[in-house]
């Protein structure tokens, strides 16, 4: 994929689908469990706290690095070993989040609309589609997001509006009945989703323009709204006690939708929403890993895609046999994700004060060293 080939809006839509799936599917059951009726406040608190972080650590770092390739830039600031110390946690984070989405999607598919289809068939079909997307690169994934997101947003507004008669907003009160600590604890989990925007640092060299503060804050705000809507919907439609018992609260809201006397059972629209988000999220994670390793030769790229797909399928098959344990692990990984993001973004921010080579690129010696390192990685 050529550098400087993506505008702001394709990246915006790609990250919205990716992080939006996490906030709907993975985060929502967790914050409902810990915060009850205060779950809707978690995204707002996390947004307020992370505004300074986003403007200082993300756009600040991007501005000082002139939005060049972070992997190559690190090789001009650190030894190859030091660069890999920062890159390896990011690779593990991306593989973990994409696999987490894969196992959640497979579990949901098998328990809702394809209960009679073998899980192995579901996994192979889904990973085949993802493999094609990864093979075509970030640009293809971003442009597919432009096609998928409008439908996802329209359906989200539709389910929100159609369920208005079923909502009781009095269930949101009293706020903070158990004190400040409960929503603050949930805000930590919400922050782990919002902080996934740190991925911008690793695709910044694909941007056709300079990332501005208002653009990043718009992305942050939009994702916060994606957290707010389903949380309020789950609490006002089912109540905090019943919402906590639901494994997929966002999907269950679709089952309440009815239009007049004759139109109901429209929850199949949720399939489009979920699969769109999962497809982009998993594809983006694996594609970014290939950029960070990096893999340039077609044979190496194909081998990597096939290997990762097989590993995901095997691990998913094993973990689905112990789903309760897998769900408990998910809750623990929120804190681990925050630790990785804080560690990486802090070091990149500190290193960015060392400056950037003239003309926003790498000098000749640094280019040779980076190219040699990339060749050795193959």
What total of structural domains would you count in the chain? 1
CB 196 within 8 A of CB 97: yes
| pLDDT band at 266; cut points 50, 70, 90 | confident
Give the structural domain span for 90. 8-368
Is residue 109 in a domain?
Answer: yes
- CATH of residue 343: 1.20.1740.10
Coil, strand or helix at 195: helix
pLDDT at 290: 94
Least confident of 61-70, 144-153, 360-369: 360-369
Q: Indicate if the pLDDT at residue 332 is higher than 60.
A: yes
Least confident of 19-28, 204-213, 260-269: 260-269
| pLDDT band at 3; cut points 50, 70, 90 | low
Rounded Cα–Cα distance for residues 261 and 331 (Å): 41
Buried/exposed 189-213: b ≥16 CB within 10 Å, e otherwise = bbbbbbbbbbbbbbbbbbbeeebee
Is residue 186 in a domain?
Answer: yes
* pLDDT tens digits along 117-143: 999 999 999 999 999 999 999 999 999
Is residue 306 in a domain?
Answer: yes
- Average pLDDT of the chain to the nearest whole number: 89
Of 314-318, 323-327, 367-371, give the range with the top mean pLDDT: 314-318
Q: Indicate if the pLDDT at residue 364 is higher than 50.
A: no
pLDDT at 295: 86
Rounded Cα–Cα distance for residues 351 and 369 (Å): 19
The pTM for the full model equals: 0.90
Element (H, E) at 263: strand 263-264
Coil, strand or helix at 33: helix
Is residue 1 in a domain?
Answer: no
365 token code pair: 């010696």
Is residue 50 in a domain?
Answer: yes
CB 320 within 8 A of CB 107: yes
């Amino acid at each position: 994929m050529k550098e400087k080939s993506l505008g702001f809006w394709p990246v915006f839509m790609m990250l919205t689908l990716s992080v939006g799936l996490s906030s709907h599917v993975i985060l929502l059951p967790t914050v409902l469990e810990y915060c009850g009726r205060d779950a809707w406040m978690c995204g707002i608190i996390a947004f307020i706290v992370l505004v300074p972080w986003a403007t200082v650590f993300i756009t600040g770092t991007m501005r000082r690095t002139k939005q060049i390739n972070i992997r190559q830039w690190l090789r001009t600031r650190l030894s190859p070993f030091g660069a890999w110390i920062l890159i390896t946690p990011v690779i593990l984070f991306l593989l973990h989040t994409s696999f987490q989405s894969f196992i959640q999607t497979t579990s949901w598919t098998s328990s809702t609309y394809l209960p009679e289809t073998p899980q192995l068939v579901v996994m192979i079909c889904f990973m085949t589609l993802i493999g094609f997307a990864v093979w075509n690169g970030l640009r293809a994934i971003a442009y597919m997001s432009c096609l998928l997101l409008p439908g996802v947003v329209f359906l989200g507004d539709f389910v929100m509006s159609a369920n208005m008669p079923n909502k009781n907003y009095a269930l949101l009160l009293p706020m903070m009945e158990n004190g400040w600590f409960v929503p603050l604890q949930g805000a930590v989990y919400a922050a782990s989703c919002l902080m996934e925007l740190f991925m911008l640092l690793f695709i910044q060299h694909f941007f056709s323009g300079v990332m501005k503060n208002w653009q990043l804050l718009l992305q942050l705000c939009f994702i916060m709204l994606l957290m707010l809507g389903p949380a309020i919907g789950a609490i006002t439609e089912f109540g905090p006690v019943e919402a906590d018992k639901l494994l997929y609260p966002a999907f269950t809201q679709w089952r309440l939708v009815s239009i007049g006397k004759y139109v109901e059972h429209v929850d199949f629209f949720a399939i489009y929403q979920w699969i769109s988000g999962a497809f982009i999220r998993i594809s983006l994670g694996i594609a970014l890993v290939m950029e960070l390793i990096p893999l340039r030769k077609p044979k190496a790229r194909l081998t990597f895609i096939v290997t990762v797909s097989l590993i995901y399928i095997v691990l998913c098959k094993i973990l689905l046999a112990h789903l309760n344990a897998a769900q408990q692990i998910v809750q623990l990984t929120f804190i681990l994700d925050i630790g990785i993001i804080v560690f990486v973004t802090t070091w990149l921010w500190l290193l960015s004060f060392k400056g950037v080579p003239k003309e926003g690129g790498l000098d000749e010696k640094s280019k040779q060293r980076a190219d040699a390192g990339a060749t050795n990685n193959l």
